[in-house]
Amino acid sequence: MPNRLVSRRLALSLLCATSFVPLLAHSAETNSPSSASRYETRAEHDPNGIGKFYMGREIAHVMGHQAADWLERPEREKEERPDLLMPALKLKLGDAVADIGAGTGYYTRRLAKAVGERGVVYAVEIQQEMLDLLTNKMTELNIHNVKPVLGTITDPKLPRAMVDLILMVDVYHEFDHPFEMVEAMSRALKPGGRMVFVEFRAEDPDVPIKRVHKMSEAQVRKEMSIHPLEWVETIATLPQQHVIVFRKK
């Protein structure tokens, strides 16, 4: 079994004891009429998913902070090639960028360098423990243009119409409320701002990631079609992921 699968399985198993907490905390919200019509719950589902479906796709379990080391694994650079992703984002000095599901800051620190001291990176997490790890890492690396943000499962808490680019690396498929999150992120984008999804390719059976933790380009575009976003391009230069870019209309 590939090391990635073992690591991912460990991450998900560590989460099991706590993953139901945010779901219970937001039960009133998910039972509202709009949410009830938007999402579907199935008793029979993938054990790596939460049993909640959106537009035919099962939502995956969130990785808990207990498995944060997986985000900093040495082989990640070879597997994901951030050296190819960063130029593809076409960032400019002074840009305001949001890293959603920033984790330990693996991409946050790269984004911070790309936008320079005049730019800003909003590092968004729903787990304070992850933000603590990220903040410590930024201090260690002497990076000062990162603003940690504690979001919720429905709102990343970003400033309205202030963000040039929103980046999600292997995280959108874990959103408990994908519609509400994209709605809130769209409000945060400047006119013409971009939203970028980096997801492991569901179209490729050789990508060694569990099924609910992969997404097809078609599914991402389907889910974005109801938002004020237009597809710009899909970049296929990464070894296992595709980069799907949208622009705010």
In this structure, what CATH number is given to the domain that contains residue 202?
A: 3.40.50.150
Q: Give the residue with greater pLDDT, 109 vs 70.
A: 109
Does the residue 63 lie in any domain? no
Six-digit token string for 231 = 């597809």
Q: State the average pLDDT over residues 87-97.
A: 98
Q: How far apart are CA 162 and CA 182, in angstroms?
A: 15
* In-domain check, residue 23: no
Is the confidence at residue 220, as pLDDT, over 90? yes
Range of the domain at 109: 72-248
Task: Name the phi and psi angles at 56, rounded to 5.
Answer: 85, -5
Residue 47 lies in a domain: no
Tokens of 195: 């939203």
Decide if pLDDT at 196 tops 50: yes
Taking the C-alpha atoms of residue 106 and residue 134, their distance in angstroms, rounded to an integer, is 9
Query: Distance of CA 93 to CAs 90, 113, 124, Å?
Result: 10, 9, 21
Residue 188 lies in a domain: yes
Distance (Å, rounded) from C-alpha 178 to C-alpha 154? 8
Average pLDDT of span 178-198? 98
In the numeric block, which tokens belong to residue 49? 């998913």
Total domains, the chain = 1
Tell me which residue of 237, 94, 108 sits closest to 169, measured CA to CA: 108
